[in-house]
Structure 1
Amino acid sequence: MTVSVTNHLNFRGDARAALEFYQSVFGGDITIVTYKDAQSVQVPSEANQVMWGQVAAKNGFRVMAYDVPSRMPWDEGKNAFFVSVRGDSDKEITALWEKLSVGATVAQPLAPSGWAPLYGMLKDRFGITWVLDVATQYKAS
């Protein structure tokens, strides 16, 4: 069983610049998937914003980020990050989801998505937002 936990930072239009900056500081590889890449454009002006991005370095540094769509509330002090948990199998992620979801508010039910075999988002009983998914290879710009 392999589970990793990564900081997932939320921005309003600055995710690409932030990821590029973090890469310049920590090194590593950058991956950016735009709303357009994921075929998830709801507001045309946000098509090239970051739906999911990551910087991963050989030294172990890893950070993920995205641009919160304008249709969703965002406040740097209230919705500044998620805790992202990525596993290797549906079974592994489902088991963790079931435990985390006790007393939680589900924002996105755990289910297959256009970018992952299994993805879900919830706010736990302590007010922490968790994103769980099954790891996959990303093909993006």
Structure 2
Amino acid sequence: MADYAGAEEAIRQRLAANWQATRITDQNAQPDDPWPPVDGDGVLQPWVNLEIECSGSKIVGQGRPGNHVYRYDGLIIVHVFTPVNTGASQGKQLAVAIGEIFRRQKFYDDVSPGCCVRTEDPYPAEGNAKSDDGNWFGTTMMCPFVYWHRG
């Protein structure tokens, strides 16, 4: 049975299946070692962190119980971290490439009839934040989505 938690997991799986350029970390999950990511010479490598936020839900239209249409509005947020002093363009390029994974897609529609995730147009949001430890420069990609649920 499809539900909002499953929709979030489908977003995670979509990113993991379509992104191999860097390591991916997730909310409330300890990154795998080695951490931070480095190449064979010990040079810091870019990585991304996925966040998924829900901004609300509501019943859309009329229907009998068990056949209501619910709309969950949310935002896919992927923070791209590149080593400081490497310029802003690499982070922006990675953010744009990640956005294309989600641009106007429909998925998670094979679990229950009338349920799916639909994404909208992504945009690179921020690109001027250093991490607290001073090692990373952050650029953020955001993509609005709607999870449609019939139940």
Question: TM-score scaled to structure 2, two decimals?
Answer: 0.25
Q: Which has the larger radius of gyration?
A: 2
Q: If the length of structure 1 is used for normalisation, what is the TM-score?
A: 0.26
